[in-house]
Amino acid sequence: MRFFLLLFTAILIFYCTKPNPVEDLRDVKEQAMNDDEAIIAYLKSHYYNNEDFSSDGSNNTATISIDTIDADASSKTSLYDQIFTNKNGGVVTIPIESNGEMIDHKLYYVRVFSKNIATDSINGKPVAPTVADSVYASYKGVLLNRTQFDESSSNVWLNALGTVRGFRESLPLIGRGNIQDNADGSVTFTDFGRGIFIMPSNLAYFQRSFSNIPAYSPLVFIINLYTYVPDTDHDSDGVPSIKEDVNGDKIFTDDTDGDGVFNYLDIDDDNDGILTSMELTDADNNGVLDYLENNNN
């Protein structure tokens, strides 16, 4: 119960603020280029307090803070150099369709805490959520001018699919922490995933504006990722939400039966009266599971 309560709170943060009226829609490609230019300038003129994070990764308590590189801070390593010189991060290109054209959008990230990333004991890989998994995290959101527009009051469960595209695309880039169960029933997270994510406006709210987010604002999120629900299954139909993206475009509005309920929330995806959970088979061996075709042959 607690899980769902927190989930609801988290969704509120991202969706239930009423947007201001829409201004004339700008060209997506042009805006992506302008945003990228502004982001590059931001990365080159800002740094974070990396010296507060010891190289052996034992410091889990410091807070990530970002500041401008001015005369007093001229020896600081810019976010740009953290990414491209020190390789403590990278850039992910996310294509978004606009007027029949795929427009590249760049999501930049700095991994603040990557030395002792929690690894899967079976194959030694970092354990990280998919873009569809619910995560236990804390975050702060700021504009490029350092105005803070949002902050989680504490650690919260977030429904990744209820967050903006750039936020959920950020989650797989940092792993979860190591989880230690304490004798008193509490849980301690160490070496958890921490990062700074800088995204163009079209991976966030684009033309929509809110009281403290102007339209067409690139956003910066600082995220601490403690743990997540592997194979999160929103509708409990046996199909993990990540696999309810039938066309694989990482947008979860797929709606096989066209009833207005997206597959990841639909317990009968093909509307044939048989629950999806009872149709995880491929009776006619045509490569399409029965829950996705209502003729079941």
Residues that bind Ca ion (CB under 5 A): 233, 235, 237, 239, 245, 247, 249, 251, 254-255, 257, 259, 261, 266, 268, 270, 272, 274, 279
Distance of CA 243 to the CA centre of its chain: 17
- Using Cβ positions, the residue closest to Ca ion within the complex turns out to be 266
* 36 closest CA partner among 109, 92, 106, 91: 106
Buried b or exposed e, range 57-76, using 16+ CB within 10 angstroms: eeebeeebebeebeeeeeeb
- The minimum distance between CB 26 and Ca ion, in angstroms, equals 25
Q: Which is nearer to Ca ion, 191 or 266 (CB)?
A: 266
Q: Which residues contact 44 (CB under 8 A, 6 or more apart)?
A: 78, 79, 80
Buried b or exposed e, range 143-181, using 16+ CB within 10 angstroms: bbeeeebbebeeebbbbbbbbbbbbbbbbbbbbbbbeee
- The minimum distance between CB 256 and Ca ion, in angstroms, equals 6
Q: Which is nearer to Ca ion, 191 or 270 (CB)?
A: 270
Q: Which residues contact 201 (CB under 8 A, 6 or more apart)?
A: 31, 35, 215, 216, 217, 218, 219
- The minimum distance between CB 291 and Ca ion, in angstroms, equals 5
Q: Which is nearer to Ca ion, 205 or 291 (CB)?
A: 291
Is residue 176 within 8 Å of 225, Cβ to Cβ? yes
- The minimum distance between CB 168 and Ca ion, in angstroms, equals 13
- The minimum distance between CB 161 and Ca ion, in angstroms, equals 11
Q: Which is nearer to Ca ion, 160 or 239 (CB)?
A: 239
Q: Which is nearer to Ca ion, 29 or 250 (CB)?
A: 250
Dmax (CA) for the chain in angstroms is 71
- The minimum distance between CB 234 and Ca ion, in angstroms, equals 6
Q: Which is nearer to Ca ion, 67 or 249 (CB)?
A: 249
- The minimum distance between CB 264 and Ca ion, in angstroms, equals 6
**Bridge partners of residue 223, in order along the sequence:** 139, 195
Is residue 149 within 8 Å of 205, Cβ to Cβ? no
- Going by their DSSP bridges, the two strands 101-111 and 193-199 should be labelled as antiparallel
Is residue 244 within 8 Å of 262, Cβ to Cβ? yes
Q: Which is nearer to Ca ion, 169 or 235 (CB)?
A: 235
- The minimum distance between CB 178 and Ca ion, in angstroms, equals 28
Q: Which is nearer to Ca ion, 138 or 159 (CB)?
A: 159
